[in-house]
A and B are shown apart, each in its own frame.
Chain A
Amino acid sequence: MTAAPALTRRSQAAAPKARRSIGSALARGEGRGAWLFLAPFGLFYIAFLLGPAVWMLISSFFNTSTVRTGLGSFAGFSNYAEMLTRADFWSAMWHTLQFTLYTVPPLVIIAFVFAILTNRVRRGQWFFRLAFFLPYILPSATISLIWLFIFTPGSGLWATAQGWVGITAGSGVLADPKTAMIGIAIATVWWTLGFNFVLYLAGLQEIPRELYEAAAVDGASNWEQIRYITLPLLNRTTTLVILLQIIASLKIFDQVYLMTSGGPGISTQVALGLVTNTGFTDNRLGAASAASVLLLIVIVAIAVIRQLIERAAERKAA
């Protein structure tokens, strides 16, 4: 599976040959037909993806208002200048990064370990899959309400469990600016670990069993098998998981909105939270667009880096 894109490309290369064999008579009129097939999706693509992206760029140079129609007065670069000099913009960017730093390592490491262990278990794989993966398909509203209740100060499950192990519960995980982001990170790890878990599990099942068998014949211990076979062969999956996780973290909104609304104060406010606050509370769509453009630049940059890394990995593999 990890090799799928490479295989795809090969089959693409094979395609023209196949088409030529059909004969030119059939190819006639294909151009128009192709565009007709593309049209419905293309229409939505332009109307709700490309168009909005372009409009956002335009709007970011205007004082567009939420409650007024039209673009509003021309603002030049002032929305950008404002965002780049706003303390709370940088704080939101930092919190987004902070969230990434808190969640990516556990999400990668724990998922990897669970996957390795699950792969070794003969029976009951379905149970582990259920336990670890099920939270991933739950709505963010559900997981947030569950964890909000668990983190209830004083009498919540978390505080109670702290009591069992002899820790005095403080003002509550989410009520303290120092720990609120950690609380959100815990809920997120619980929620999305299953995604990485199944990615790793899929990657593991790609590794030919013969490799392990051969290693075992050579007297390699279980740990050595993991260290010298599994880890290197899962390198690409790990790179992928980390990049996907980073991109997902940059888009974080739901859990923060639902669990802390960016608080206490602005201690958990993240980039998309700032965007929606600026647009829908301050009613400043222009400024919110500028913030979105800046966020989009970061996300696209990371996605491009991902492509480059993948290309490099493929070239190395080939």
Chain B
Amino acid sequence: MATANAFSRRAFLGGALAAAGTVALAGCATSPIGAGLVGSPLNPDQLIFWNLFGGGDGSRMQTMEAGYEKQHGGSGALQATVFAWGNPYYSKLTLATVGNKPPDVAVAHLTRAKPLWDGGILDPITEADLASVGLSSTDFNQASWDAQKTDGKNIAIPLDTHPLVMFFNSDVVGKAGLLDSDGKLKDLTGLDAFESALAAIAKVTGGTAITVGNVNENATPWRVFTTLYHQINGVSPFLSDNGAKISVDEDAFVKVLTKIQEWVKKGWLNKGLDYAGAQTQMFTGKAGFYLEGEWEITTAQSIKGLKFGMVPIPNLFDKPAAQADSHTFVLPRKDRTPEQRKQAMTFIKSMLDQSQTWAMGGHVPAYLPTLDSSAYKALEPQADYASAAGYAIYDDPAWYGGSGSTFENTVGAQLGLVQQLAVSPQGALSAIKGQLKVYTNTPSPL
């Protein structure tokens, strides 16, 4: 019995090894075995591109990738990989670069590109790089181009700007008498005009007038707060010294949040809704306004029978402002031959050329040839809020900051509680200071 067992075992293991070997040999031409065992570069002709787009953005990005492949070497010319959004993505990008196997091109939020740059994860993009594919700095929306410049270098090529905007349910606001004859939302500049609009909508819906997701959702409360905060003249940045100091203007902080609590108490603003709930409320006519990034256009368009519009957040205080970020292309740090550099830039140019496709998803193109085109200007409701990109407010640079970061999660959670009336503005401020202490007190690891 022992011999029989041993024999079959040996035969099995031998067979398994042989099978593995066959697969290995068969796959050698295109397989990553060389890279895995001796660290040789992966298929050098193939452009490797990483991004974090799911949903509608994801499928539009796939269309654009197919567009690139069609023009530049067919399928196989590009390997695109999508990772989970937010911190996991940036963590992966960082570790891959530290571990010498970064992608050739990656997408990064502009506010996350800065910490990546500080950490030495990115290669700068020179004027020569831009020129090599017929681009120049004047081809881009000034606000986002200036925002990406760091230490005098270009660190990222913006694809878009995605500001916080105001969605409205046309039926509801129409009944509230807020639409002009073209079906456009009337001008609601100024706190008085806006609040009387809220009151009028509340009468129509018999309850909520405006929704902001604030349960299990941290980013939206932050976006709304920052937008209103920066509408006040002369406010200081929330963070300074790359995150070492909380420099928020406390009076303005309290002023904005007191206003938000006031709206909740009046029943105009929802007290507690999660991300999807806030949307549904407006889509189903239980609210007139809904504040979120313009990317939710895809969801809104998929709702049968919903008539809606989108406008920049009205200026309630002193000057217009809209919290925003940009999706950008970055070149992770790696040794590149001039050809590989050119290849990467060619890919980026191809993506920019397809900005119109991207704009369908709501994002405001950063590439001026598209932004200024008549095709984009004809795009409704995109063209109605595109101006918000001109006064975009990016999150303050901080090593733990940016879209989907620890900073947004920490501060946003407290702001969500303020809206739930669970904590006072003052209480939220001291909680934020307490929780960020770990980060403000620690030297940046970058």
Q: Are the chains A and B members of one assembly?
A: yes
- Residue-wise, chain B 404-446 has the 8 Å CB interface mask toward A (1 for contact) of 0010000001000000000000000000000100100111011
For the complex, is A206 an interface residue (Cβ under 8 Å from B)? no
- Residue-wise, chain B 112-126 has the 8 Å CB interface mask toward A (1 for contact) of 000000011100000
CB distance B435 to A265 under 8 Å? no
- Residue-wise, chain A 265-289 has the 8 Å CB interface mask toward B (1 for contact) of 1000000000001001111111100
Complex Cα distance, B91 from A184, in Å, reads 24
Complex Cα distance, B248 from A43, in Å, reads 54
For the complex, is B216 an interface residue (Cβ under 8 Å from A)? yes
For the complex, is B177 an interface residue (Cβ under 8 Å from A)? no
The stretch of A60-68, A188-196, A218-226 in contact with B is A60-68
Complex Cα distance, B90 from A278, in Å, reads 13
Complex Cα distance, B444 from A287, in Å, reads 12
Complex Cα distance, B95 from A281, in Å, reads 9
For the complex, is B161 an interface residue (Cβ under 8 Å from A)? no
CB distance B216 to A175 under 8 Å? yes
- Residue-wise, chain A 64-93 has the 8 Å CB interface mask toward B (1 for contact) of 111110001100000000100011000000
For the complex, is B88 an interface residue (Cβ under 8 Å from A)? yes
- Residue-wise, chain B 76-88 has the 8 Å CB interface mask toward A (1 for contact) of 0000000000011
CB distance B445 to A86 under 8 Å? no
Complex Cα distance, B18 from A24, in Å, reads 45
For the complex, is A264 an interface residue (Cβ under 8 Å from B)? yes
- Contact residues in A for B216 (Cβ distance below 8 Å): 175, 263-265
Complex Cα distance, B406 from A175, in Å, reads 20
Complex Cα distance, B406 from A282, in Å, reads 8
- Contact residues in B for A65 (Cβ distance below 8 Å): 119, 445-446
CB distance A261 to B443 under 8 Å? no
CB distance B88 to A67 under 8 Å? no
How many chain-A residues does the 8 Å CB contact rule pick out? 26
Residue of A nearest to B87 (CB): A281
For the complex, is B94 an interface residue (Cβ under 8 Å from A)? yes
Complex Cα distance, B399 from A284, in Å, reads 11
> A67-B120, A68-B120, A264-B216 are known contacts. Are A280 and B94 too (CB-CB below 8 A)?
yes
For the complex, is B232 an interface residue (Cβ under 8 Å from A)? no
- Contact residues in A for B120 (Cβ distance below 8 Å): 67-68
Residue of B nearest to A89 (CB): B438
CB distance B94 to A283 under 8 Å? yes
Q: CB within 8 A of B442: which of A175, A281, A287?
A: A287
For the complex, is B253 an interface residue (Cβ under 8 Å from A)? no
- Contact residues in B for A282 (Cβ distance below 8 Å): 400, 406, 445
Residue of A nearest to B399 (CB): A283
CB distance B442 to A283 under 8 Å? no
> A67-B94, A264-B216 are known contacts. Are A283 and B445 too (CB-CB below 8 A)?
yes
CB distance B94 to A66 under 8 Å? yes
For the complex, is B188 an interface residue (Cβ under 8 Å from A)? no
Distance in angstroms from A94 CB to nearest chain B CB is 17
> Which bracket fits the contact residues of B?
20 to 34
- Contact residues in A for B413 (Cβ distance below 8 Å): 265
- Chain A interface, DSSP helix/strand/loop, else mixed: loop
- Residue-wise, chain A 178-205 has the 8 Å CB interface mask toward B (1 for contact) of 0000000000000000000000000000
- Contact residues in A for B91 (Cβ distance below 8 Å): 280-281
For the complex, is B98 an interface residue (Cβ under 8 Å from A)? yes
Q: CB within 8 A of B95: which of A87, A277, A280, A287?
A: A280
CB distance B442 to A284 under 8 Å? yes
Distance in angstroms from B274 CB to nearest chain A CB is 8
Complex Cα distance, B435 from A63, in Å, reads 20
> A68-B120, A87-B435, A175-B216 are known contacts. Are A63 and B87 too (CB-CB below 8 A)?
no
- Contact residues in A for B90 (Cβ distance below 8 Å): 281
CB distance A283 to B446 under 8 Å? yes
Q: CB within 8 A of A284: which of B87, B95, B445?
A: B445
Among A171, A281, A282, A283, find the residue whose CB has the most chain B CB atoms closer than 10 A.
A283
Complex Cα distance, B274 from A66, in Å, reads 35
Complex Cα distance, B216 from A265, in Å, reads 7
35-51 of chain A: CB within 8 A of chain B? none
CB distance A66 to B445 under 8 Å? yes
- Contact residues in A for B95 (Cβ distance below 8 Å): 66, 280
Residue of B nearest to A285 (CB): B445
- Contact residues in A for B400 (Cβ distance below 8 Å): 282
Q: CB within 8 A of A86: which of B87, B406, B438?
A: B438
Complex Cα distance, B94 from A72, in Å, reads 18
Residue of B nearest to A79 (CB): B442
CB distance B445 to A67 under 8 Å? yes
- Contact residues in A for B121 (Cβ distance below 8 Å): 67
Residue of A nearest to B119 (CB): A67
Complex Cα distance, B112 from A281, in Å, reads 12
Complex Cα distance, B91 from A82, in Å, reads 22
- Contact residues in A for B445 (Cβ distance below 8 Å): 63-68, 72, 282-286
Q: CB within 8 A of A82: which of B88, B94, B274, B438?
A: B438
CB distance B443 to A63 under 8 Å? yes
Complex Cα distance, B399 from A63, in Å, reads 14
Complex Cα distance, B445 from A63, in Å, reads 7
- Contact residues in A for B94 (Cβ distance below 8 Å): 66-67, 280, 283
Complex Cα distance, B322 from A189, in Å, reads 48
> A265-B216, A265-B413 are known contacts. Are A67 and B406 too (CB-CB below 8 A)?
no
- Contact residues in B for A286 (Cβ distance below 8 Å): 445
Complex Cα distance, B120 from A282, in Å, reads 15
- Contact residues in B for A285 (Cβ distance below 8 Å): 445
Complex Cα distance, B277 from A171, in Å, reads 11
Complex Cα distance, B441 from A175, in Å, reads 33
- Contact residues in B for A86 (Cβ distance below 8 Å): 438
> A175-B216, A265-B216 are known contacts. Are A281 and B406 too (CB-CB below 8 A)?
yes
257-289 of chain B: CB within 8 A of chain A? 274
- Contact residues in A for B88 (Cβ distance below 8 Å): 261, 281
Distance in angstroms from B321 CB to nearest chain A CB is 28
Distance in angstroms from B399 CB to nearest chain A CB is 8
The 7 A-B pairs with the shortest beta carbon distances in the complex, nearest first, are A65-B445, A67-B119, A283-B445, A281-B87, A284-B445, A280-B91, A281-B91
Beyond A68-B119, A282-B406, 15 additional pairs, beta carbon < 8 A: A63-B443, A63-B445, A65-B446, A66-B98, A67-B120, A67-B446, A72-B445, A73-B443, A175-B216, A261-B88, A265-B216, A281-B90, A281-B406, A282-B400, A284-B442
**A residues near B, CB below 8 A?**
63-68, 72-73, 82, 86-87, 171, 175, 261, 263-265, 277, 280-287
8 A-B residue pairs with Cβ-Cβ distance under 8 Å, sorted by A, are A63-B442, A65-B119, A66-B98, A67-B120, A68-B120, A87-B435, A281-B87, A283-B94
